Amino acid sequence: MSPDALLPGPLDIVGDVHGEFEALQALVSLLGYATDGFHPDQRHLIFVGDLCDRGPDSPGVLRYVASLVAAGRAQCVLGNHELNLLRGSIKPANGWFFAQDHDRCEGRFLASQQATAAERERFLEFIATLPLALERPDLRVVHAAWHDESLAALKRERPERGVLELYRQHAAASARWAQESRVSAQAQQEYRDFGRLLPDENETLPLLSAIGTLDEQFQMSNPVRVLTSGVERLASSPFFASGKWRMVDRVPWWQDYADDVPVLFGHYWRWASPDSARLYSRGERDLFAGVAMNEWVGPRRNAFCVDFSVGVRYRERHLPRSRPFRGRLGAVRWPEQELVFDDGERLRLRA
């Protein structure tokens, strides 16, 4: 299973949408597209995944993007949020998809539009067709990480095997490794000693290295997970994020990306300013602290994250609106290397 071929010609690569259909419509219009995805200059839209969850209209976003892909006017790679739906994995903010909305039952995301039973089936059919990566000689696109080892592992797989089958195969192999490893017994002891404290951010924990080692193995042994949710390694110290203690760190893999071909990706929730990070971060390390919004990263200065945290708008809507949204939806125009936001701001990418 190799990366799919990226469409030819000029492109507009859109960051994580997270159910913000109005922002997507505004951005697509600013980029010069008709509502049906037609562009007079024969441009195409490329989505980096995470179309859904958190925002008010995930079904609308999925319907729209699926229609563009079917018409040959767009492509989209698989994000971790789509993968969760494909796996039937219940997560915070994806209750809109399930017949029993777990979020609504807990009083969360009450503004989210719900998917019908027929839509759930259609969305899963669409998601199952999404590639893990796209490339052509001058550009690569992936959701979370362009990781050579994971891509090489996928290339050894038969092309007809679906992404869900591959995910489950590698997850099962990781589970077998954990059962047979000495680390598993050490992790069980750590859970016995500290398990009651793991959900409590008010406690102080040492680094539980066996639990962290298992978490790293679970992530890094599964190429589907790596491409859709990134590179993770055992942390130097534990940290509390998204409601639980973490023993592994997200790694800025782009610092080791030395290929000539530029790569665009999403996933990492870039913040417009340090105060935005303080207000809305879920506790994870800001991997783009000190990096300008329009700045390439990596040793070759040819990697760029186009996720600008539009998914935080569900929280911003509950606050007095004295200023524009801090969470924004952006797109990179290629080959122009121009960054365009849904509010109309435009920035030239720079090294």
Q: Which of 195, 215, 250 represents a domain boundary (last residue)?
A: 250
CATH code where residue 75 lies: 3.60.21.10
The percentage of residues in the chain with a pLDDT greater than 90, rounded to a whole number, is: 80
Residue 305: beta bridge partners?
265
Whether residue 319 sits in one domain with residue 225: no
Residue 151 belongs to some domain of the structure: no
- Domain boundary (206, 222, 250) is at 250
Asked whether residue 66 falls in the same domain as residue 136, the answer is yes
Q: Is 181 among the domain residues?
A: yes
Residue at 83 is within a domain = yes
Instruction: Name the more confident of 203 and 308.
Output: 308
Residues 34 and 142 in one domain: yes
pLDDT band at 145 (very low <50, low <70, confident <90, very high): very high
Listed residue (222, 229, 309, 225) closest to 272, CA to CA: 309
Average pLDDT, the chain: 94
Is the domain of 68 the same as that of 175? no
- Residue 31 included in any domain: yes
Beta bridge partners of 142: 133
Residues 307 and 171 in one domain: no
| In a shared domain, residues 121 and 166 | no
Asked whether residue 241 falls in the same domain as residue 263, the answer is: no
| Same domain flag for 126 and 271 | yes
The half-sphere exposure of 238 on its side-chain side, counting CA atoms within 13 A, is 24
User: 217 and 276, same structural domain?
Assistant: no
Query: Do both 19 and 126 map to the same domain?
Result: yes
User: Residue 97, class by beta-carbon neighbours within 10 Å (0-12 exposed, 13-18 middle, 19+ buried)?
Assistant: buried
Count of structural domains within the chain: 2
Do 194 and 130 sit in the same domain of this protein?
A: no
Query: What's the pLDDT score for residue 322?
Result: 64
pTM (two decimals): 0.94
- Range of 100's domain? 4-146+257-348
Q: Note the pLDDT of residue 318.
A: 83
**Confidence bin at 182 (pLDDT 50/70/90):** confident
Please report, as a single letter, which amino acid is at residue 266. G
pLDDT at 2: 81
Asked, for residue 156, whether it belongs to a domain, the answer is no
Q: What are the residue ranges of helices labelled H in the chain?
A: 21-30, 58-70, 80-87, 102-105, 117-127, 148-155, 163-180, 182-194, 209-220, 223-229, 274-280, 313-316
Specify the DSSP class assigned to residue 117: H
Q: Confidence band (pLDDT; 50, 70, 90) for 202?
A: confident
Same domain for 165 and 262: no
177 in a domain, yes or no? yes
Q: Would residue 155 count as lying in a domain?
A: no
pLDDT in tens, 211-251: 999 999 999 999 999 999 999 999 989 988 877 899 999 99
Average pLDDT for 185-209:
89
pLDDT in tens, 79-137: 999 999 999 999 999 999 999 999 999 999 999 999 999 999 999 999 999 999 999 99
Q: Report whether pLDDT(282) > 80.
A: no
Flag whether 153 is in a domain.
Answer: no
Structural domain ending residue among the three candidates 250, 282, 301: 250
335 preceded by cis ω (within 30°)?
Answer: yes
Q: Work out the average pLDDT over 23-31.
A: 98
